[in-house]
Amino acid sequence: MSERLSVLLLDDEPIVGKRLGPALGKIGCDVEAFEDPKKALERIDQKNFDVVVTDIRMGEIDGMQVLDHVRTKSPRTRVILITGYAMMELAREAMEKGAFDFISKPFKANDLRQVIAKAARALGVSVDFENATIPSR
């Protein structure tokens, strides 16, 4: 029996939430999408998500701060960082701080699906990822 995976999706570009939200929904995720990091942090304070997917470069609050916040609030939550400005040092810093994974933009449709599946397995949640596709961006 398949369970649902609660996912918070944060990217200041609205298109990301609009495209990835429904796609993740199709593969067994309950997605809450945010463009404003402050609002996302407020929501994280209210609810322990299974997975948080966040962009790194955003206005006032960046993805690394979101990572720190989630790690303090809910160590169980798996945080996946996405960035268009990937660099070795940033990637190492993210892992050091406890990120579950780090993906560079543009990513293939399958990349995020696989990472989410990996996070679900790590959490012991059985989600049916078969026969589902996510549009690439």
x/- map, 93-122, other proteins, by CB under 8 A: xxxx-xx-xxxx-xxx--x--xx-------
Spatial contact of 44 and 88, defined as CB atoms under 8 Å apart = no
The least distance separating other proteins from the CB of residue 41, rounded to whole angstroms, comes to 24
Distance CA 34, CA 68 (A): 18
φ and ψ of 8, to 5 deg: -105, 130
Q: Which listed range, 3-11, 43-51, 61-69, 91-99, lies at the site for other proteins (CB under 8 A)?
A: 91-99
Considering the rule CB under 8 A, would residue 62 count as an interface residue with other proteins? no
- Of the candidates 81, 49, 82, which has an alpha carbon nearest to the alpha carbon of residue 67? 81
Number of H helices and number of E strands within the chain? 5, 5
Q: Is 71 near other proteins (CB under 8 A)?
A: no
In the chain, the amino acid numbered 80 is I
Nearest residue (CB) to other proteins, 91 versus 132: 91
Question: With contacts defined by CB under 8 A, how many residues of the chain interact with other proteins?
Answer: 22
Binding site for other proteins (CB under 8 A): 86-89, 91-96, 98-99, 101-104, 106-108, 111, 114-115
